[in-house]
Structure 1
Amino acid sequence: MSSELTGTVALVTGASSGIGAATARRLAENGASVALVARRKDRLTDLAAEIEKAGGTALAVEADITDRARAEAAVQQTLEHFGRLDTLVNNAGLMLLGPVVGADVDEWERMIAVNVQGLLYTTRAALPHLLKAAEDGPRRVADIVNISSIAGRVAWNGYGVYNLTKFGVNGFTESLRQEVTQRHVRVGVLEPGGVDTELGSHNDHKPEIREAIGTFYEQTEVLAPDDIADGVAYMVTRPRHASVGELWIMPTDQA
């Protein structure tokens, strides 16, 4: 185990698969105790066991962060178990694509609930503890990393509300960065391009969209979740005086 984050605690949302699971593993490898937050308890339990077997420390926390009370309870459970919180990775995300004309409004609401409201609820609950960690922690610095998307930088036809949520994440991140970073709670956004995760499968019920996504993945050497986990680990292991506000990671084929 590396020791850059020894003595610190990280909470990762959407930790049951993909980028979230890879990030949890990487932070544990760097010495952090990790709270794994998601809805699929069985996957969290397996991941926690994997991290523990590798010599790390992990806690599985089943929670739907779109429910404010449950998001707050996930942070509280982390505090009660580990006694502190130094790093928050807001990774949970949902991508449901399609035209605005004739759209299923329920899909819009689901995306906004996960991508925006869940991120806000978790961040609000975590902030007092991150500020405290920045004052008296072993590293005297804390971190929030919000996982956004290239869709937070560029809008495309058919991505309308997904674009809205990710542009919103970028704007919120920058505002919060200006508010708390000088108090040594560093706030940054990481914007991946195409990554081999479950995100595209959220559209399996839409054959035309799923086909287009499949074609992209066939023609592009996309990123692996570990590539994004590397980026998160880079951001949160900088020395106290260095803050990474934005990191954009793209497949070379897509860039």
Structure 2
Amino acid sequence: MTVVILTGASSGIGEATALRLGRPGMTLVLAARRVPELTAVRARIEANGGAAVVVPTDVGDPEAVTALVEQARAVTGRIDALVNNAGVGTNASVLAEDHSVDRAIGINLRAPIRLMRAVVPIMEEQRSGTIVNIGSVAGEVGIGGVYSATKFGLRGMTDSVRRELAGTGVTVTLIEPGYIATPGNAHRSGLPGPEIVAAAVESALRRPRRRIIVPFKYRGAVVAAHLFPAIADRIYAGKASRRR
């Protein structure tokens, strides 16, 4: 039985990932704050023959994170995978209020670090384990204020942890979605659904890689932004000022 912790599992990318992974032989430990939504996701998983455990969790609370990991380990004595998916958006301007800045840093960056810190010793003891962090293309191209800053930070932390754990049997993958059809992007049309990210998570669990960018079209934009930053400045400057 494979045990996977999935944060932010109540909706959007987390829900799609839970439903894709929820199959016989897999026990998903579903973490989020909204219990009714988590319970509904668990029911759908169980209807498809999978198994799930609901653990109401605010990943911004250190004690809640500790309790989540303890309950996950209690299932079989192992934690085979961690998917750090929980995240929040912010005002794209540097003028965002302190409470918004603090929450974004706490959920998008500090919580994944805290969760990795909790599961890595367990995985090292097992000599196996997979960590998948959900970043963003905004962590490659600075266009989202503090949100981008947290995703840049998560990218750096992911690279660091992967190198730190080389040779231990523990793998670390970063998945960076572009714009995806989630509640936070309801004002945009024609976007791919969260299932494309769920498929990337499943792929990373089966065959870990350094980084996965979805949809494919964003890979060119990321490369171009790194190679030609002055051009990226001109392209995105107007968009940033309008958001402000």
The TM-score with structure 2 as length reference comes to: 0.85
Partner residue of 1:4?
A: none
Q: Secondary structure at the match of 1:74?
A: helix
Q: Secondary structure at the match of 1:146?
A: strand
Q: Which of 197, 202, 215 is equivalent to 1:233?
A: 202
Q: Secondary structure at the match of 2:158?
A: helix
Partner residue of 1:142?
A: 129
Partner residue of 1:130?
A: 123
1:175–1:92 CA distance, 2 compared to 1 (3 A)? same
- 5+ residue gaps, structure 1: 1-6, 136-140, 202-213
- Checking the alignment, whether the CA contact within 8 Å between 1:223 and 1:251 is kept in structure 2 is no
Q: Which of 110, 114, 124 is equivalent to 1:121?
A: 114
Matches of 1:42 and 1:126, distance apart in 2: 26
Partner residue of 1:60?
A: 54
Q: Secondary structure at the match of 1:36?
A: strand
Percent identity over the alignment?
37
Matches of 2:16 and 2:41, distance apart in 1: 10
Deviates more, 1:174-183 or 1:192-201: 192-201
Q: Are 1:166 and 2:160 matched, yes or no?
A: no
**Cα-to-partner distance string for 1:84-104 (whole Å, 9 max, x where unaligned):** 110000000001123213x21
1:90–1:161 CA distance, 2 compared to 1 (3 A)? same
Q: Secondary structure at the match of 1:143?
A: strand
Q: Which of 75, 79, 97 is equivalent to 1:104?
A: 97
- 5+ residue gaps, structure 2: 222-244
- Checking the alignment, whether the CA contact within 8 Å between 1:148 and 1:170 is kept in structure 2 is yes
Q: Secondary structure at the match of 1:181?
A: coil
Letter in 2 for 1:223: P
Letter in 2 for 1:237: R
Task: Please report how far the alpha carbon of residue 81 of structure 1 lies from its aligned counterpart in structure 2 after TM superposition.
Answer: 2.9
Letter in 1 for 2:132: V
Partner residue of 1:250?
A: 215
Partner residue of 2:178?
A: 193
Matches of 1:129 and 1:21, distance apart in 2: 26
Q: Are 1:81 and 2:75 matched, yes or no?
A: yes
Q: Which of 192, 206, 211 is equivalent to 1:223?
A: 192
Q: Are 1:182 and 2:167 matched, yes or no?
A: yes
- Checking the alignment, whether the CA contact within 8 Å between 1:86 and 1:129 is kept in structure 2 is no
- Number of residues paired by the alignment? 220
**Cα-to-partner distance string for 1:80-131 (whole Å, 9 max, x where unaligned):** 2332110000000001123213x21111011011101111111111112222
Matches of 1:223 and 1:97, distance apart in 2: 23
